[in-house]
Amino acid sequence: MHETIEIFVNGRAVRVAAGMSVAAAVFVAGEHIFRTSVTGEPRAALCGMGICFECRVTIDDQHHARSCQIVVKPGIKVQTS
């Protein structure tokens, strides 16, 4: 089994595989909405390669972080909309 680490998604502790992207970890945490659009629609990851900005979340103090381009680190706090 791969090494796992603990992170926090919307305040809940979740164990995820080390090396995973934050986007994948959000799904693993059981969330399927990453952000809310300007007209209030729920949105989630689309392009998986850092282009579309649909997967942006808050990671610790960093707002609008593209979760598909960032690898999880122990203890990070991820906040979806």
Binding site for another protein (CB under 8 A): 16-17, 19-21, 23-25, 27-28, 32-34, 37-39, 41-54, 56, 62, 64, 68-71
Q: How far is residue 38's CA from residue 5's CA, in Å, rounded to a whole number?
A: 34
SS3 labels along 28-56: HCCCCCCEECCCCCEECCCCCCCCCCCCE
Nearest CB to another protein, comparing residues 13 and 33: 33
Nearer to another protein among residue 12 and residue 63 (C-beta): 63
Nearest-approach distance from CB 19 to another protein, in angstroms:
7
